[in-house]
Structure 1
């Protein structure tokens, strides 16, 4: 289950990033730069330094971004292939919004200017193939260790306050062979199993 969730979220994020066109209708939204407090909040989510409640709060706040024509907390809708907004990146399900940072910030020791929010993760986007360095920096598990897939490290797991599931937060990283150049995504996966 964890492998399938991780692969789906990261693969769709990366592939969609490479394929998504920029729509002219986004210009009014894209001109709104995120505030520093919004950037800090998003970076805490990327680094698994915020909890499930913070992730759900952001997800609810950004949920209607495709139809609201506004940029809540610095997040922007991502256009689909037809130029219209959808809760998908390049018409691929799972990716909801992006935050374009006004200047590069160091995320896990590497510069990034773009964050992506999906239905179950917040990741930073890096140009190039830096997966080996990120895996080392984040102390990600090798394939098969502790039952986790490669490129993932569980940071926290706790029982739901209501229900019988377990909330899991995991650091993840994956290299995406995108066209024309490869990218790497890394961040925090928030899910309940």
Structure 2
């Protein structure tokens, strides 16, 4: 697979975030405030400062948040339009959970209070849809071209799996998401095997 095709395929996985509304459960009993340790762990993953094993450990620990509808370790379930397994229509990888931070943090130079965990990525969500275009330049991401929506990706690590026949990929990503009621930007880290 050539790098441009790989870039497009991996970005499509992140775009799957757009198919799930970013709405938390309204029941206060189902929400939890993350601890400083949980926030620090999540931010390390968002910034691609952890390995794929650390990401898989978190994703595995959160696998039942979507099905149970219960908050866990600071993460909240996100509705996925009737798809209980977190797989939105169209078969794209869905969102597992969202972490609402008690105070804004700076991620890639921009403030946010939301982190989103999917089966292949962990990203910060920004209310400003223009952040994706800016970060594509400042993070030196490979963009999709002038006519395509803002966003891009840069592979930071690519190596054969230790136990398997795939290629482990860790990449910085940014994308503009056309969500309802208004567009947002997401940026973070993709942890996957191809």
Quickly name the TM-score band, shorter chain normalised. 0.7 to 0.9
- The alpha-carbon deviation at position 4 of structure 1 amounts to 4.7
| 1:8 counterpart residue number | 12
TM-score, with structure 2 as normaliser: 0.83
Aligned partners of 1:79 and 1:89 also within 8 Å? no
Select the structure that is richer in helix. 1
- 2:56 pairs with 1:56: yes
Residue ranges of structure 2 left out of the alignment (5+ in a row)? 146-150
Q: Find the aligned partners of 1:142 and 1:72 in 2 and give their Cα distance.
A: 35
Superposition RMSD in Å: 2.3
TM-score normalised according to structure 1 size = 0.83
Residues 128-147 of structure 1: CA distance to partner in whole angstroms, max 9, x if unpaired? 12222211221112448xxx
**Conserved? CA contact 2:93–2:120, under 8 Å:** no
Secondary structure, counterpart of 2:73 in structure 1:
helix
Decide whether the 8 Å contact of 2:20 with 2:79 is kept in 1: no
Alpha-carbon deviation of 1:9? 2.1
SS of the aligned residue for 1:151 comes to strand
Distance 1:23 1:42, change over 3 A: closer
Alignment partner, residue 157 of structure 1:
158
Work out the CA distance in 2 between the residues paired with 1:89 and 1:98: 15
CA contact under 8 A between 1:21 and 1:90: conserved in structure 2? no
CA contact (8 A) 1:78 1:97 kept: yes
Spell out structure 1 runs of 4+ moving beyond 3 A.
20-24, 67-70, 89-93
Aligned equivalent of 1:180: 181
| 1:89/1:23 CA distance change after superposition, 3 Å | farther
1:110 counterpart residue number = 110
Change (3 A) 1:186 1:21: closer
| Shift of residue 16, structure 1, vs aligned partner | 2.0
1:182 Cα deviation from its structure 2 partner: 1.7
Indicate the residue corresponding to 2:140 in structure 1.
139
